[in-house]
Amino acid sequence: MPEKVLMKGNEALAEAAIMAGCRHFFGYPITPQTELAAHMSKRMPKVGGVYLQAESEVAAVNMVLGASAAGVRAMTSSSSPGISLKSEGLSYLAGSDLPALIVNVQRAGPGLGGIQPSQADYWQATRASGHGDFKMLVFAPSTVQEMIDLVADAFSLGDEYRMPAMILSDGLLGQMMEPVVMDDTKRTEVPERPWAVSGHGNKREHNIVNSLYIDPPNLEAILKERYEKYERIKEKEQRCEEYRTDDAEIVLVAYGASARISRSAVDAARKEGIKAGLIRPITLWPYPEKAISSRMATAKAFLCVEMSTGQMVDDVRLIVNGKRPVSFYGRTGGMIPTPAEVLNEIKKMNGGI
């Protein structure tokens, strides 16, 4: 059993990517993700990898596209405004059926917003990461240990489904320190990529990686096929963690750092005799619809907690579909909700049931 070490969220994301066989990192500095790139700049040369600080976010994401097309595991990381700049490349990656890992350590927006933590890029990650019809796998870790595990999963599922995957973190998780185990035995293999444009030596037909389709019917057919794949992913890859939900009447739904705050609030509510529980989505796309649907058996009401003005709450409302009240509590602009504030919301709801 490997021993525990103390790691910062951002450096754990970087180290986990190296453990998952990623040797190509392209990035551009921005707070609060900078330690990730800084760690890569120190570690990549030691493991025979490439760390490249590009001239811009747009350049970095397109380098990821090129590296992935050539058949290697590649990644980039940024924080909110930088992800907006990368959106063109994300769309091209999806349109070219290329796997890649994109890390967003969210900060406050819109515009330059601020450097304090936020979860206001949920819509961007799950709805509109770029132009056109496409989806990305989106993972939301809530501990530093889980960051390590989800980086490996994001790489391998991205490869399996040939699509980009995002880790949606936030400044708080990225900057905090936690004890973790870097389990080397979980080192993932980089699978063969028979579709890669890496030279064919006249021994096979050449591969094409491209997102331009001249014939509209052809493009429509490809998009339909891709959306059938998305349906299979929705069926198979939904993930969440439930906490004290068995008999929960008030079900909180929160991801990432907000889930940790909500979990404290659930414990505090239980101490006061309120039957509260928490569903913590681990995949934001595909969204854990099944878990939320089945929880309606005991739930009298849902409460979404986010560091935004209310984004993920839309998905909860779509699933609950008016059958139960869905409330929202959030702080935004770089403010972090406290467990006491969330407990207060639970109490208000409890009075109303």
Partner 1 sequence: MGELTIICGHYGTGKTNFAINRAIDAAINGKKVTLTDMDVVNPYFTSSEYADILREKGVRVISPTFAFTNIDIPALPASMYSIFDSEDDVIIDAGGDDVGATVLGRFSGEIRERGYEMLYVTNMYRPMISDPEDSVRVLRSIEDVCGLKATAVVNNSHIKEFTDAPAITGSLRYAKEVSRLAGIPLLCSTAPRRLIGELPEDECFYPVDVYVQTVWEKEGSKW
Sites of contact with partner 1 (CB under 8 A): 4-8, 11, 15, 31-32, 35, 42, 108, 113-116, 143, 171-172, 175-179, 182, 260-261, 263-264, 267-268, 333-334, 336-340
Contact 166, 102 (CB under 8 A): yes
CB of 178 to partner 1, least distance (A): 7
Distances from the Cα of 89 to the Cαs of 132, 198, 246, 271, 309, in angstroms?
12, 20, 43, 49, 27
Nearer CB in complex with partner 1: 157/268: 268
**Bridge partners for 319 per DSSP:** none
Cis ω for the linkage preceding 286 (within 30 of 0) = yes
Q: Convert 302-327 to b/e letters by CB count within 10 Å (16 or more is b).
A: bbbbbbbebbbbbbbbebbeeeeebb
Nearer CB in complex with partner 1: 310/334: 334
CB of 239 to partner 1, least distance (A): 18
DSSP 263-299: HHHHHHHHHTT--EEEEEESEEES--HHHHHHHTTT-
CB of 104 to partner 1, least distance (A): 17
What are the residue ranges of helices labelled H in 212-281?
216-236, 256-271
Nearer CB in complex with partner 1: 164/171: 171
Its sign, for the CA torsion 126, 129, 131, 137, is negative
CB of 304 to partner 1, least distance (A): 18
Nearer CB in complex with partner 1: 43/300: 43
Give the total residue count for the chain.
353
CA dihedral 27, 32, 38, 43 (to 10 degrees): -90
CB of 340 to partner 1, least distance (A): 7
Nearer CB in complex with partner 1: 149/178: 178
| Chain centroid offset of residue 97 CA | 18
Tokens representing residue 133 in the block? 């019809």
CB of 144 to partner 1, least distance (A): 10
| Chain centroid offset of residue 53 CA | 23
Nearer CB in complex with partner 1: 33/96: 33
CB of 58 to partner 1, least distance (A): 21
Nearer CB in complex with partner 1: 74/261: 261
